[in-house]
Amino acid sequence: MAASLQSGNRASGLNEVNVLRTTRQYEWVIEKFSELPSRKLKSATFSGPNDDGVKWLLHMYNNVDGANKGYLSLYLMLTPSAINAQKVVSLKVKIFSSSKWWPPVSAKFFDAKVDSTKGWGWSKLIKRKLLLKKSNGYLNNDTLRIFFELSTNETPDRCDADDAAEANTALLANQEELLTTSEGEYNDCVLVCKDDVTVHTSKTFLAAQSAVFRAMLRPNSGFQEAQTGRITVGDYNSVVMTEVCRFASCGRVENIEELAEELVAAADQYDLPELKQLCVKRMCSTVAKENVSRRLVIADLYNLAPLKQAVFNFIKSNGLDLTDYKQLVTTAHHQNLLFELIGALSLQK
């Protein structure tokens, strides 16, 4: 089996798909995925959106032990030759399924500082067993295809940006008014929530923002929800799902400071990456002694690297005693998290 991932190797082809201003889209093809050893794999190097001579690559870890056991990890880095380079970039990753029952694996990060020594990515992108199960449709002939989009920051023309912002504000306000005041007359979907309260919304808005709802509501999908427009949401109350629907329709959330922890769970479950990112930013800025333990568990549970780092920084700055984190030792999983915390703090000294 060919384990090396070099440019031009058929087992690891890296093909440029499209160029859009400061954005480029790529596909990483890895054949014989089930035979890959439990070690780090590297993609072929590739040019970024600006063609500035800086080269990038992806690092993949097929974890069989440690804190990320059973998961596939993926990180973006600059090549070692870019010693003094640092870029602020955003990355979107998708792994599509050929099965109509499984949504694509989707992950994003925004405005991350990346160099040749510090990468950004996901320690728990997806469980390996989910990829290997043939009926899930993520592997075709034992070949894994990872689609990713790399973007660099660009400052738009100020006048154009202001005009667009004004138009978007009016547009989104109109959409929100229909959602919140029409009493369902313009909506074609009902969410039955945990508290037995129904939330009226639009299939189009949900499907546009969520791969899970898109698969569920697709015509001829075979799901009952696609026919009835009625979705049972057993894990979240109507307050949370109202904000999920508000975000799907107009891109904003009310009371995010109070609801961020529940909203990030819903965003993770229903694959709303932009809502997830919004919640993470708010939670990072509101870490406090009364929530620091809970935030650390949430960061680990949903693979939120920026939030985990914010918690570590808070603990270091405030000198809190580890006895404040009793819930971290209630399960074996949280015990591993406690060890990770201790290790991170020792490295920061």
Shared domain check, 175 and 111: no
Residue that terminates a domain, selected from 152, 179, 212: 152
Shared domain check, 192 and 254: yes
Could you read off the pLDDT of 299-317 as tens digits, one per residue?
988 989 899 889 888 888 8
Domain harbouring 245, CATH code: 3.30.710.10
Dihedral pair phi/psi, residue 123, rounded to 5°: -75, -25
Task: Please state the domain count of the chain.
Answer: 3
Domain harbouring 124, CATH code: 2.60.210.10
Structural domain boundaries, residue 109: 10-152
Has residue 248 got a pLDDT over 90? no
pLDDT of residue 283: 94
**What's the pLDDT band for 298 if we cut at 50, 70, 90?**
very high
Shared domain check, 319 and 235: no
| Whole-number Å distance between alpha carbons of 273 and 321 | 34
Shared domain check, 183 and 129: no
Could you read off the pLDDT of 169-178 as tens digits, one per residue?
555 566 666 6
**What's the pLDDT band for 135 if we cut at 50, 70, 90?**
confident
Domain assignment present for residue 95? The answer is yes
Could you read off the pLDDT of 22-63 as tens digits, one per residue?
788 999 999 988 887 667 889 999 988 877 788 899 999 887
Domain assignment present for residue 340? The answer is yes
Shared domain check, 206 and 234: yes
Pairing mode, strands 71-78 and 139-140:
unpaired
Domain harbouring 335, CATH code: 1.25.40.420
Shared domain check, 48 and 124: yes
Has residue 4 got a pLDDT over 60? no
